[in-house]
Amino acid sequence: MTEFTPIPALIGGSLIGLSAVLLMAFHGRIAGMTGILTGVLPPAAKDWGWRAAFLLGAIVAPILVPILSGYEVPFASPVPVIWVMVGGLLAGIGVFFASGCTSGHGVCGIARLSGRSISATATFMVAAVATVFVIRHVLGGF
């Protein structure tokens, strides 16, 4: 059970959007986690430096948030680790072929009104809702 949290959702979402706008304005790049991450995996892209810096900043952020603001970041994973890894493997294969994920297609792509991104986002959202329905309400799992 998690509560509806409209204020953190709006603040956090706006920051995600702001980051995308800034990365486009300065680097001319899509703030998509799939593309940025793939570029640092060996054989890394020539411009891996800014990618590694972006990833590092993203990893450090949840450590700094409670220290600087006093806001404890809510986190709970109800899924057994073995299933988390199954999900991770599928997600990795999927985002590679789809050339993007929630940040790249769902935020940056739709913001540019890209037909490919709108289709991709609709597909992965429906697939995720269907998967959770099957796991929770058909199989009675986590």
Partner 1 sequence: MQRIVLAGLFGLIFGTGIAISGMINPAKVLNFFDIAGNWDPSLLLVMGSALTVAAIGFRFVLRREQPLLDQQFHLPTKRKLDVPLIGGSAVFGIGWGIAGFCPGGAIPALGLGDVSAWAFVAAMIAGILTARTLRRFAQQRVTQTA
Scan residues 59-98 and list those touching partner 1 (CB under 8 A). Answer: 59-65, 71, 73-79, 81, 83-98
The residue count of the chain comes to 142
Work out how close the CB of 46 gets to partner 1 at its nearest, in angstroms, rounded to a whole number. 13
Amino acid residing at 97: F
Token pair listed for 124: 């992965």
Work out how close the CB of 56 gets to partner 1 at its nearest, in angstroms, rounded to a whole number. 6
Q: Mutual orientation of helices 81-98 and 115-133 as an angle, nearest 10°?
A: 160
Question: In the range 13-52, which residues lie near partner 1 by CB under 8 A?
Answer: 13-31, 33-34, 37-38, 41, 49-51
Size of the site for partner 1 (CB under 8 A): 108
Tell me if 135 sits within 8 A of 142, measured CB to CB: yes
Work out how close the CB of 71 gets to partner 1 at its nearest, in angstroms, rounded to a whole number. 7
